[in-house]
Amino acid sequence: MTDDREAMRQRLLARREALPAQWRRRADARIVAALEPRLAEAGFECFGVFLPVRAEPDLSALYGQLRQRGARLALPRVAGRGRALEFGYWSEQVAVVPGTFGIGVPQPFEPALPEALIVPCVGFDRRGFRLGYGGGYYDITLAERSVAALGVAYACCEIANFEVQRHDRALDIVCTERGCVGAGFRRR
């Protein structure tokens, strides 16, 4: 990780965390509205999702819609440094406990193999590359698993000149409150 990349990450996190809560709620609703028809059309049966931390978009309304359509949801768990994320089935009836980095992990943990991942982005570019928190867990997961990948972020976190590193993996689609960019889901 270069100093420039870490500095960019910190600037984007500060920008996102400074967004007023009311603005974020409206933006989250627009992100959900943009995502829902794409996900319904894709027909996936199991989605890897996330619970928001550090002012990430809150997609709980989308998760309810996916469940109503019969989809199952799974939350990530850090399996260890340099390893792909593991996913465990999750619903409102399943307890969530803080795991690594404060990320909510379902308890008990029933392993799942999502067909598609909804991935939070600290930053992103129009090619579908994301800047995450720096651990590389989603990049490793996307490199090792054959899954569709959709990123979510606020439009203010778009990066114009993002230098992609060798380990970075492009997402199929990135959605913000202003809409989605990308060609659509690729079946891998």
pLDDT tens per residue across span 122-135:
999 999 999 998 88
Domain spanning 3-181: CATH 3.10.620.30: no
Q: Which two tokens stand for residue 29?
A: 């609703």
Confidence of residue 186 (pLDDT cuts 50, 70, 90): low
Helix (H) or strand (E) holding 12: helix 3-17
| Core vs surface per residue 68-90: b (16+ CB within 10 A) or e | eeebbbbbbbbeeeeebbbbbbb
Whose structure tokens read 């590359």?
A: 129
Evaluate the omega torsion of the peptide bond into residue 52 and state whether it is cis, within 30 degrees of 0. Answer: no
Higher pLDDT, 183 or 94: 94
Residue 110 has pLDDT above 60, yes or no: yes
Under 8 Å between Cβ of 163 and 137: no
Residues 159-172: tens digit of each pLDDT: 987 788 888 888 99
Residue 115 has pLDDT above 90, yes or no: yes
**Domain residues of the chain, as ranges?**
3-181
Residue 185 has pLDDT above 80, yes or no: no
Under 8 Å between Cβ of 157 and 121: yes
Q: Which two tokens stand for residue 28?
A: 């989250």
> Could you tell me which residues are beta bridge partners of residue 111?
88
Q: pLDDT at position 43, please?
A: 87
Whether the CA torsion 56, 10, 124, 46 is positive or negative: it is negative
Q: pLDDT at position 14, please?
A: 97
Q: pLDDT at position 163, please?
A: 84
Q: Which two tokens stand for residue 182?
A: 């990308």
Average model confidence (pLDDT) across the chain? 91
What would you measure as the largest C-alpha separation in the chain, in angstroms? 44
